[in-house]
Amino acid sequence: MLGSQRDADDAVQETWLRLDRSDTSAVNDLRTWLSTVAGRVCLDMLRSRKASRVYHTGTWLPEPVVGPDQAEGPEQQAVLADSVGLALLVVLGSLAPAERLAFVLHDIFDVPFEQIAPVVDRTPEATRKLASRARRRIQQAPVPDPDPGQQRQVADAFLAAARYGDFDALVAVLDPDVVFRADAGPDHPRQPVLGADSVARHVLGLAPRFAALASPATVNGAAGAVFGDRRQPFAVIAFTVTNGRIAAIDLIADPDKLRSLALSSGTG
């Protein structure tokens, strides 16, 4: 909903506070009750964010969820399995807050439209239409290949081509309609780069200086890499690999989003 770990933590805390202050003796389904309350808290935060113009011009990307290239324990594996891909989060971020809430609560948490409607100040039928509009937009997002090994092979081929400045090899691993998005923070607005040739040229203008500093990582459940120190990288990149080619590249270099990054390197 929020695309920010810190905001999500605040929303969870506020939800628990509301639970503590509420009489839930008549609540039959506590999971649905908590999901709905958390959704209402997130909706308020999104509306406040929009009103205060927190979003900057250019590309805005959510905070990444980063782990080692291979999750080493059941807890890490569960976190990565539950991660939502950055490409999908970008689409979610483009939705109106009410559309996003209706989709997340209904399609992900199975909350009935009758319970969502009061939260978004709509009728159940209007709420159903909100979710339907959101669903159509989300279906346009590229669907990652399910095999992590195949994703890693394609990501490694991209990084190798970038490291050696091989334009043809870069184009070969890119989908013809690939999109490259970069978020360096509100003071450095960047617009997306579209198309395999344009993206390859853009990457080759930057990558040879930094590709050697990349190390494999799992980013939002998909193949990616971190640049620099693994505990506090200066950039994180995520790849959305579809049908054996990269359909989306998301580069996050906003210091505020990376400062709180809890990167588990497997060493504690």
pLDDT tens digits for range 175-208: 999 999 999 887 787 889 999 999 999 999 877 6
Confidence tier at 79 by pLDDT (50, 70, 90): very low
pLDDT tens digits for range 5-31: 888 899 999 999 999 898 888 888 888
pLDDT of residue 266: 41
- pLDDT of 163 over the 70 cut: yes
Confidence tier at 57 by pLDDT (50, 70, 90): low
> Is 122 or 67 the better-scoring residue by pLDDT?
122
In the chain, the domains with their CATH numbers are 5-54+86-138 (no CATH), 148-259 (3.10.450.50)
**3-class DSSP state of 158:** helix
Residue 126: burial class (beta carbons within 10 Å; 0-12, 13-18, 19+): middle
pTM: predicted TM-score of the whole model, two decimal places: 0.77
Asked if residues 240 and 248 have their Cβ atoms less than 8 Å apart, the reply is yes
> Is 256 or 227 the better-scoring residue by pLDDT?
227
Q: What is the mean pLDDT of residues 52-60?
A: 58
Token pair listed for 250: 């998301």
pLDDT of residue 262: 47
pLDDT tens digits for range 204-253: 987 767 878 888 999 988 899 999 877 788 999 999 999 999 999 999 99
> Please, what sign has the CA dihedral across residues 9, 11, 15, 17?
positive
- pLDDT of 168 over the 70 cut: yes
pLDDT of residue 158: 95
